[in-house]
Amino acid sequence: MHAPLRPVRHHAVDIRLAYATPDNFTGQVIYEDVPAMLHHHAADALDRAAERAWAQGWRIGLLDAYRPGAAQERLWSIRPDPMYVADPAIGSDHTRGIAVDVTLIDAGGMVLDMGSDFDEASERSHHGYAGLDPVALHNRTTLLTLMEEAGFCRHPYEWWHYALPAAQSYPLLHTIGAY
């Protein structure tokens, strides 16, 4: 059996949980009082990515981590599109505690240009989108390299979403107390 969730705590991870604020595609607060938590395998991988980012003068901006089942159901009710939101009946990697939504932040605390907004449901958000300007392409490639070298896999339609491989081997944790 897999170990429980643990809090995300790393000097090079800037926690900016988008769904704890209305600054997301819904314009609503999706969850409150949910700390940034991950399965320890994902937390260790994020720590590795953050160390590499820090060595290059950046920080990882953590936009989402563990997401309770009720929050996943709410997101699905607003955007029932399996390309961008996991069907809660199947399960989300966020609800397993093994997925992160991330970006890169510079030394001054500014989010780097990634060519589209976080949570933008468009082709511009896809890995491999050909219309990116060189700066955004470089930033996305840097993030992709950091995350994949740390052990995460990319989501093809969301430049910000990374998850551990073998997701189905991790249980769904519908509430923090579920473990």
| CATH number of this structure's domain 5-178, picked from the four choices 1.10.287.130, 3.90.550.10, 3.30.1380.10, 1.10.40.30 | 3.30.1380.10
Q: What is the pLDDT of residue 67?
A: 94
158 catalytically annotated: yes
Q: Is 94 annotated as a binding residue?
A: yes
Q: What is the pLDDT of residue 30?
A: 96
Q: What is the pLDDT of residue 174?
A: 74
Give the model's confidence band at 2: pLDDT under 50 very low, under 70 low, under 90 confident, else very high: very low
Domain boundaries, the chain: 5-178
Q: What is the pLDDT of residue 176?
A: 63
pLDDT > 50? residue 164? yes
Q: Is 39 annotated as a binding residue?
A: no
- Among the listed residues 144, 107, 119, the one whose alpha carbon sits nearest the alpha carbon of residue 64: 119
pLDDT > 50? residue 110? yes
pLDDT > 90? residue 175? no
Question: Residues 73, 148, 149, 158: which is the catalytic one?
Answer: 158
Q: What is the DSSP string of 57-72?
A: T-EEEEEE----HHHH
